[in-house]
Chains A and B, each alone.
Chain A
Amino acid sequence: MLKSTVASLKTYPAIPIIVALAVAFSLLSPYFMTGGNFEAMMGANAVVLIAAIGMTFVFLIGGIDLSISTVISASAVISGIVMAQTDSVPLGVLTAIVVGTGFGAVNGLLIGYFKLTPFITTMATQLIARGIAFVLSHGIAVKGTPYWVLDFGFMSWFRIPAVTIVGLVLVGLSVFALSMTTWGRQVMLVGSNPNSARYSGINVPFIEFTVYLVAGVLAGIAGFISIANLGNAIPGVGDTLLLMIIGAVVLGGTAMTGGEGSIERTVLGVMLLAILINGLNLVGIPFYDQLIIQGILIFFGTWLAMKFSGQRSQ
């Protein structure tokens, strides 16, 4: 019993913190443990969930993608403009995915095949994506979102918001891709030991390329979901998300150094941050104190995750 508990803590170090936070907040606020609140919480965090899946893949190969946050903005804005012009939702979805794929492909080519440093490359594409989002939108929310998209943002199915269902479907696909396919096994091997991956005949540049590509696609989808959530494509939507996305992945227990982690862990990491922010809002903590608490939690949560899973360093 104890042994299996310890083992599951190693795999899911976020669970004890989630339980502690849930207990604390349900004592502090009667509204916390209600279906309506959970529904709102899930809907509000769908964008972070989808983006964090992409970041998990990138972390698993030992990389980083700083551009995910603003690719969300760029794809939202471009998709928003296309939908405002054509009033076609499918075209909007397609545009968001294409924009995300484009950025992912550029990152993947430069990092995988051209061997540029992931940090600088994605820092540069982060700036470019942000610039594109602001130039095309003139710095303001894009008007003219089709009604269907607005309705979609409010849709729920058995109290699970539609946007969250999209996120969960993507989680399912990603879990499958990572654990059931050759590609997934190669991703894990590239992350844990790039040299032995190379010697065992894995096309490492190709795996790196596909991982950044997937991260881009997911950022594009997250961008579209942000329109449904907020009602408009906002050029600054991604600016503040980087901390949340990276925080969720490391709090879940996926190491930045590669080879250690999973999509399931990231789902828990997203839950953890979602509960934290929701609870702090319910208790009436102002946003700046939330920033302090978030920072402290991300730091010590990462440290705990490292301790539990016996990683040498993040």
Chain B
Amino acid sequence: MEILTAQRLHKKFINKELSSFEITKFLLERIKKLDSKIKAFISVVEKEALDAAQRADQKISQGEINPLLGMPILIKDNISTKGILTTCASLILQNFIPPYDAEVISRIKNRGMVILGKSNLDEFAMGSSTENSAFGPTHNPWDLTRVPGGSSGGSAAGVAALETILALGSDTGGSIRQPAAFCGVTGLKPTYGLVSRYGLIAFASSLDQIGPIARDAFDCALLLEAIAGWDSKDSTSCNLKIPNYSKIIQEPLEKFKIGIAENLFLEKLDKNIKLAIEDSLSTFKKLGGEIISINLPHIDYALASYYIIAPSEASSNLARYDGARYGYRNKEALEINTMFSKTRSGGFGKEVKRIIMIGTYALRAGYYEAYYLKAQKVRTLIKKDFEDAFRECDLILTPATPTLPFKIKENITDIWAMYLSDIYTVSINLAGLPAIAIPCGFKDNLPIGAQLIGKPFCEDFLLKAAHHFQKNTDFHQKTPEIALG
């Protein structure tokens, strides 16, 4: 079976080899056949998808050319879709039908894209394995006994299993990059402020970004072009001209400097991942990269800073789930405070409660300076580390994860094993930088991901480096057996 990317599929649409309706129908059949094993989807919107595909085909036949017209996409279920159930994988929102579209959804609809459904995630995007879903875990298509990573595990698994062509995820501390690495696909967390967060159900507002997950960097570039850019409805949205990413990345790669921080190659790093990263470095050298050693002296404090900032913002953001206006309400309680607490206890899962408890503890009266303020100051130091490093280099290369995909239930009772899975990714959210996870190797048929970090708003160069890497490697073309059957 030919592995379809958005780039190849677009050519087929234009050459009339295949219609959007045909590929949409084909994917819906695949989902029916495969997804009982993978569980990448929380909901499939068959009728809406086929209708959108038909509208796209009509436009294609009228000569409209836009590279995403008629392109199937899977949306993480914490992104609001008008009229389509949006659950955040939580019981508290199990019946929530948004009355409006997120800005990214308006934009992909304007491009004539075809939404196939909503993907599974860790409840409210809190987790690194997609096991914290109220609707059960997603399985890694490379080994069904293993996790797909998280929290955008459904989006990454859906792309890996060829249940969709493209997907959207969200990333607060690694939630796009870690599952992309675990599933052997490509995932980009854009610079904070590049993509509108309007309609993204908030976890930690100063860290959250929506980004593309796809089979390669080229497809990520195409999707980023569609969703990036200023939005008046997001007060943190940056008003910048959006480059033509998919065009720029095809230009030749000039000489560049790639930074390596020795202190990131931890003892705990899986030795197979270390080897794969060293191989990637050789590839980048061949592509004109000069390797330089950089220093990120405060990086060891990133996880501690993150585990104050993210839960603090989350505890405040999740105060809105009180059973008053939408979502689940415990109707036994007649007194209002009891209604609030019974609703929240019944509606939230264990990890969400844990994060709310951490945040409430950190923000309670008298502790603000010791915790939240201190963490935000340390954030400044981490951001400055990267600013200093980027005076010496154009890109930074790190592993995306310290381990290979772990087994389902392996880390569910060990919070530290779970939290450490994001050790390479959280600092990038704290600094607001763009970073991409790309497949860079395999061990025992399990994918390994490299993380490339770029300068703020330099997604063009980041994607370009990833694209040229992929032109010289074939890890991103490998497909799990379950998807080939």
- Do these two chains interact? no
